[in-house]
A and B are shown apart, each in its own frame.
Chain A
């Protein structure tokens, strides 16, 4: 396999007496979708929060594009080009798509918002993701469907020429057609050259979209394998027992 854009080596994280991450190794590759699976409490969320800079692990190495880095806050992660799309999407219903995509990082000319430049860039990004379902990018997010909201949240993450995009349960609240639409978008992100990390509980989705599967079990990385080398039963065994074959 090619060398990973992001890799974590022997990462440990505790909350008081609870040892949540135990010597976790994890890698994400440009142009590939890496699925992060595991039961509730296995440490998936803690792991991605370490990557996103929300938690700082006690020990462990971060290697980004071949160089060791330290991520001590969300801004460090953002500066490296790591973006996270939370499960609740963190969108403002009362703002339109463009303003949501640029929230907190608005383009300014003088003292005023540069609306036309933001609108063009937002449009370009959505077009680049082959998004055709949104009628107008000036409509309020409140009027969008669940899948469209997910699309806006993902588009916001890739707007900043980001290199790694982390998606937390992107299809959890969606119907069949919308799940299909979002999975297609996830594939598109990887095909555009980004490293995509997807947390999911749905193994059908995982097998449809992922190139790599990383399974966590009780705070340890049970295995990180290529999708083609395993079947669904193997993954279920990894998730429930942590044992490889």
Chain B
């Protein structure tokens, strides 16, 4: 597309900081779902795979692009579904490590 290399680099650097910042205070309970959710998000490579397959020419690009779309779709679909299944189990209960009697025993 039409961005300059420096512009892309700027976006990369800023994204690093956002990535660190956004999960800096995550409870250990959520480590597994967070990893799984992040895993689903990098499935966005599907967008790139679709463009590569859809604009490619010749058999090499077609085969590589086709495989890329299949693999990326598995990543996206599997990632979000598994994460949702994990989080479903936390449903309907209040979060947090609030203490109930006994801590002072």
Physical interaction between A and B: no
